[in-house]
A and B are shown apart, each in its own frame.
Chain A
Amino acid sequence: MNKHLSDHQLISYLDAQRETGKQDHLERVEAHILACSTCRVRLERLTRTAALLTSTLQAAGDQVPLHPERSWHRVKHKLEKRRVRKSAPALHLLLRYGAIFALLALTAGSIAGLIHTLAVTGPDQVSTTPTPGPAFPPTASSSSAPPGPLPRQQSYQTNVPLSLLILGSDGESADSDEIDALMLLHLVRREDSARYALLISIPRNLYLDLPGGGQATAGSLYRLGEEEAGNGLVFTGQAISATLGVSVERVVLLHFEGFIKLIDLIGGVEIDVPYQIDDPDFPDGHGGSEPLFIPAGRHLFDGAAALRYARTTVIPEAGFDRTFRQQQIALAVYRRVTQPGVLAGLIARAPALWSSVSNDLETDLSLSEAIDLALVMNNLTTEEIVTVSIEECCTVPYTAPGTGRVLLIQEERLEELLQAVDVNGDE
């Protein structure tokens, strides 16, 4: 008698009985089972286990209470919300072009500020006076300015919002209302008309008070606002403003996927990958995995490749994490978009750009404000964008049942920080 079959072989045999095309294997195992009473008993035990498991799971499943009506209404409600977001009101074609450049310059300009202070910026480091920017003498509003390459010496517009909360969603969750990145862009006035921009990054797990009472993390503010107040943008703005003590005049929500789509439209981005990335479990978006391998070196990434590069959770070296990689991409986009030749090329492809942006964007910023703000941002050099990380300087970690790990604001440290960066300027 040959040695006994393993449980795995017996289970494979049971599986093979359910499936076709394994006759050779079946015959050999079957021959052994016929000749071996021990394996026959074991096979019976495994067969019985499979039958018991199937009937138990079926019985358990049958007891689950079903509410198809309620489920459908919830699904439908979320689908409608997404459709509303996708069907932004149509704008005059000419103005659409302006909006594209405004948003491109604004977003890219804002995010790129992060790159220049990758080292954590605490109050001590930030207290150095920012480089004075160019003068922006007040002029008449040019909200109906025609589209075109953004001039470097544009007049300052008096109706430029002083603070804009930028929300980013990386679209990984089916519920796209969860926010993954929050940044407050704040323009600071100074007596000599020089100004600079503060870019305050807010951690998404910052635990803060809600306008109507209660607490929640910053990342869930938009969703809560949509569910409870019917306006996620305003709700998020109010909560952040109350927490930081800095006014929030306008809010823009940009889905990271939309930003990535733009990469294809600008012909890709060049990225220096410092360390090889090997992620065999990279999710394929359907619950499965799709191995990701990126060798070290310079790469020209299209949108999809850039998205994978930004999303992988593999950290081959300390500091080379998702935040760093997303910032790398943002900087690469910024460099590309601000090249005069590229901007001219973007004009020709404005309809496609608009389509990409409008599907992934929600804002209470008016078109003229967006254009004016973009013009101001376009005039700032990267040195005139001061970056502040609230997480590093002004929070303490806190963990309690039901909250997971969150961050609490250290109010005194925050006050010191805002004074150090002269958040109110000369107003």
Chain B
Amino acid sequence: MTIQELIERTLAGDEIAARELHDMHYPAILRLAYLLLQNLDDAEDATQEAFLYAFNNLERFDPHQASFGTWLKIIVTGRCRDMQRRSRRARWLSLQSLLEAGYDPEDETPAHRPDTVLELVGIQQMVWEALEQVPRKSRQALILRYFGELSYPEIALALGCTVSTAKSRVAYGHQVLASLLGQEMELEANCSTK
């Protein structure tokens, strides 16, 4: 059965078709959400919210504009951005009371709270750590481009920016990442020659 047929059946109330749509796209959507949020619980919430939104707005899906999978990726990116916004706001507000209590923000450097799902090794660990240092907006754009395989207009839609901004964010992220990896590799080379 094609995706379009599954969508039509879902619209007609066929739960089995809805389940098939969910199961077919769930891995890619959860993985994308995880890479964007770096927290499994949040990624699962964002994924469920994205499917819920998609099923409740299925009649709005236009197969001429994007594939169903791409549509879901755009939706889940929006949910992830919402969660990050809420989390940043709550974090900033919480910080005020923590500062009063003598908290030193330097104690905690990452802007997010990654969990410990990943066990990358070697060069991939190095790339992952470098990616974490790329500014957030560019990091998101890189993930959508190189993992989500979205086009620039689709990245722009997902991130709520213009196509030229999406291009700039990918290019800047790419540039920063290449520079960070270059430094890392030089350091490693120097260490191994000593």
Contact = CB atoms under 8 A, between A and B. Distances in A.
Interface in A24-73: 45-46, 49-50, 52-68, 71-72
Contacts of A72: 19, 22-23, 26
B41 to A, nearest CB: 12
B127 A53 contact: yes
Contact of A49 (B40, B53, B90, B177): B177
Interface of A is mostly: helix
Interface in A379-413: 399-405
B146 A50 contact: yes
Nearest to B97: A399
Interface stretch (B1-9, B104-112, B114-122): B114-122
A66 B171 contact: no
B170 interface: yes
Contacts of A46: 174-175, 178
Interface in B161-189: 161, 167-168, 170-171, 174-175, 177-178, 181-182
A64 B117 contact: yes
Interface in B41-75: 43-44, 47-53, 55-57, 60, 71, 74-75
A220 to B, nearest CB: 13
A75 B51 contact: yes
Given A12-B171, A45-B178, A66-B26, A174 B50 contact: yes
Contact of A78 (B48, B90, B143, B177): B48
A63 B118 contact: yes
B143 to A, nearest CB: 6
A76 B117 contact: no
Contacts of A281: 160
Interface string B1-45: 000000000000001001100110011001110110000100110
Contacts of B157: 284, 286-288
B156 A401 contact: no
A289 B74 CA distance: 12
A352 interface: no
Interface size class of A (residues with CB under 8 A): 35 or more
Contacts of B86: 404
B48 A74 contact: yes
B175 A404 contact: no
A404 B93 CA distance: 6
B147 A61 contact: yes
Contacts of B127: 52-53, 56
Contact of B81 (A50, A55, A287, A405): A287
Interface of B: 15, 18-19, 22-23, 26-27, 30-32, 34-35, 40, 43-44, 47-53, 55-57, 60, 71, 74-79, 81-82, 86, 89-90, 93-94, 96-98, 117-120, 123-124, 127-128, 131, 142-143, 146-147, 151, 156-161, 167-168, 170-171, 174-175, 177-178, 181-182
